[in-house]
Structure 1
Amino acid sequence: MTRAATPIVRNVDARHRYEIQTDEVIAGFTAYRDRDGQRVFFHTEIDDAFAGRGLASVLVQEALNHVRGEGKRIVPVCPYVAKFLERHDEFTDITDPVTPEVLQWLEATPAR
């Protein structure tokens, strides 16, 4: 029986996302936009071929730890990130609410 490689999470700032790689393949990502000291997470996706391995949780945990290390705050527009934060109160101190203003800004901010 072969053992799966330990997943690696990295920030790909040029693409505004954190990617998770396992077995030398990009398995998924969580996308963000930065706004006034906030990192607004708006979409998380794991490829179906990697479903059921807990990779989304690993990805978001590492991304949020990175945000903390950068001194930024989290805005969880992405439903998966919002659900993750409900179960992980260690990020409450750096989480801002999703407001109509943030949603309007996100809608008006073009992807780079």
Structure 2
Amino acid sequence: MTQGLTHNTGASVTVELDLASPISSYTIVRADGTPVGTADFVATPGASEERIFFHTEVCQDLGEHGLVALLVSTALTDSIRENVTVVPLCPMFAHHLQVHGDEFIATGGAFRQPTPDDIGVITHAALGET
């Protein structure tokens, strides 16, 4: 999935979804092809798929806040459309849902608080263990 957007500076950017195993990501890419931000997650399969967002990083020279907002909003919009539960282990996702969680749920989103087991899932994914 690729989505063209405009950053709050007016620069044209694209948000791309890379579904990989074990770690997937949303990446913001400048018009020249340079990646400038990423939100990493691990998808847990099952009766109700979950995406554990655990790391978000953006290029600070473009205005960090605007890029984070683009990544978070794109990921959350996708989670609603795909009926995926969000697990906000990443502080940026956790903060957004702390402030806007009721609105997210009202528009069809679902999220739950992370547990120690979620940290284990991320650790195993980072080590390449299945």
Give TM-score, length-normalised by structure 1: 0.84
Task: Give the letter for the 1:57 counterpart.
Answer: A
1:48 counterpart residue number? 60
Kept after mapping to 1: 8 A contact 2:14/2:31: no
2:16 to 10, 32, 35: 10
Partner of 1:60: 72
The answer on whether the counterparts of 1:38 and 1:75 sit within 8 Å (CA) in structure 2 is yes
List alignment gaps of at least 5 residues for structure 1: none
For the 8 Å contact 1:4–1:22, the answer to whether it is kept is: no
Over 3 Å off, 4+ runs:
none
Distance 1:52 1:38, change over 3 A: closer
Q: Is the 8 A contact 2:58 2:64 kept in 1?
A: no
Q: 1:21 aligns with which of 22, 25, 29?
A: 29
Count matched residues. 110
Letter in 2 for 1:72: V
Q: Is the 8 A contact 1:4 1:23 kept in 2?
A: no
* Distance change >3 Å, CA 105–CA 87, structure 1 → 2: same
Using the TM superposition, name which of 37-46 and 14-23 deviates more.
14-23
Q: CA RMSD in A?
A: 2.0
* 2:19 partner amino acid: D
- The whole-number CA distance in structure 1 between the counterparts of 2:58 and 2:69 is 10
Query: Identity of paired residues, percent?
Result: 27
